[in-house]
Structure 1
Amino acid sequence: MRIRFTPLLALLPLLAACNSQPETTNPEGTDAAVTDSTAYDPNASSDSLRMGKTGGVEVGGSALTPDKTLAQNLAASPELSQLLAAAQKTDLAAKLAGDGPYTVFAPSNAAFKGLPYGAMAGLLKPESKDNLTGLLGYHIIQSRLLALDLRDGQELTTMEGHKLKISVQGDNITVNGAKVTTPDVVSKNGIIHVIDKVLLPPSE
């Protein structure tokens, strides 16, 4: 269901040209956002989940592990603290601590610093809750997608209601032009892919 929200701060449309992509159809004609709702299997091999020998992924110097929820893994990494703080201003933090499954394209703190000065401060105000929910919802897919599930040209419908465009070139994955810097952070209720830009929903 599309989250309805009023236009974002006046400065945000200036960024849309950098992050938005024209909508095209999925090469296979299906919406990949509903193709996989399988829960994490703790008995699956670490190779198949690309988790490494430790059974976790290091993000910002902290090990994020599959025994934690998405919310717990976001809280465990200093590099993702801005995203967690923003989610806690909305109802999304509770969702990320719930059953899921969800796939989160998680902007790093450095990605948030790339926004114009004062943008996030404005969105974190109580009166901007709907706008903030819409922005964060544009980073969340309501299914569980590992990097190996992502295909070049694929479109994913977000919780916010608009689509994201995936590009896969060898080992490089981008979403609406944002680079996936750390893929496949497996959690109990979904997957985190760390990205280097904040994604902005298209204006309507």
Structure 2
Amino acid sequence: MKDAFRALTLAAAAVAGVATVAYAANPQVGGAPMYTNKNIVENAVNSKDHTTLVAAVKAAGLAGTLQGEGPFTVFAPTNEAFAALPAGTVDSLLKPNMKKTLQTVLTCHVVSAKAMSSAIEGMIADDGGKHVVPTIGGCDLIAWEKDGIIMLEDENGNVASVTQPDVEQSNGVIHVIDTVLLPKS
């Protein structure tokens, strides 16, 4: 469906005489183009939908890591996903004395490989419908596909949908998700 939409957009733009190379090469996340020659942090800071995630990454001291060589796959929760947590959770996690806990929460969204959605779908198919995804934070996520959408379940039963897959970065890939995934409580 994504490829069909892009093809339709490219065809319409060609008829209208509009340049489309930037759209095809640089998908938009949170109203900002994502550049494949920039790393995860350099791109994320421009997304208006990921300001909470960026603040959390900085507070946890993980910005340097996610600017590193990688490769990384980041399941990136939106601001709305963070807002859906119980009241006060985000403010509490951003406090200096919660740095270790925040690091654990965030690294449960990171895989030390570049896993495009097609690779994830292939692993799901190979495992008969569900696949365990180990994160660098020590969490095991369960991945499956539902109506063409990759779903992720954390160790507490919270389920996230991948709302925008395959946003390539110089050091990996981001998959935008609609729920914060948490380590086992």
Q: What does residue 29 of structure 1 align with?
A: none
Using the size of structure 2 for normalisation, the TM-score is 0.79
Of 170, 176, 182, 1:194 maps to 176
Query: Which has the higher relative contact order, 1 or 2, with Cα contacts under 8 A spaced 6 or more apart?
Result: 1
Distance in 2 between the 1:99 and 1:53 partners?
25
Q: What does residue 173 of structure 1 align with?
A: 150
Q: What does residue 166 of structure 2 align with?
A: 184
Q: 1:189 to 1:123 in 2, by over 3 A?
A: same
Distance in 2 between the 1:162 and 1:118 partners?
23
Q: How many Å apart are 1:52 and its aligned residue? A: 8.8
- Please tell me the residue identity of whatever aligns with 1:70: I
Distance in 2 between the 1:110 and 1:170 partners?
23
Distance in 2 between the 1:170 and 1:112 partners?
25
Runs of 4+ in 1 over 3 A off after TM superposition: none
Q: What does residue 117 of structure 2 align with?
A: 147
Cα deviations by residue, 1:127-163 (Å, 9 ceiling, x for unpaired): 0000000000100001100000112411111111121
Q: What does residue 157 of structure 1 align with?
A: 134
Structure 1 unmatched ranges of 5 or more: 1-45
SS at match of 1:79: coil
Of 91, 102, 113, 1:132 maps to 102
Higher helix share: 2
Using the size of structure 1 for normalisation, the TM-score is 0.72
Distance in 2 between the 1:56 and 1:168 partners?
25
SS at match of 1:78: coil
Distance in 1 between the 2:111 and 2:69 partners?
14
Q: What does residue 71 of structure 1 align with?
A: 41
Distance in 1 between the 2:115 and 2:22 partners?
17
Structure 2 unmatched ranges of 5 or more: 1-5, 8-20, 154-158
- C-alpha root-mean-square deviation of aligned residues, in Å? 1.9
SS at match of 2:45: helix
Counterparts of 1:3-42 in structure 2, within 5 Å, are none
- Please tell me the residue identity of whatever aligns with 2:172: G
Q: How many Å apart are 1:53 and its aligned residue? A: 5.3
Q: What does residue 63 of structure 2 align with?
A: 93
- Please tell me the residue identity of whatever aligns with 1:103: T
- Please tell me the residue identity of whatever aligns with 1:169: K
Point out the structure with max Rg over C-alpha: 2
Distance in 2 between the 1:85 and 1:165 partners?
27
- Please tell me the residue identity of whatever aligns with 1:90: A
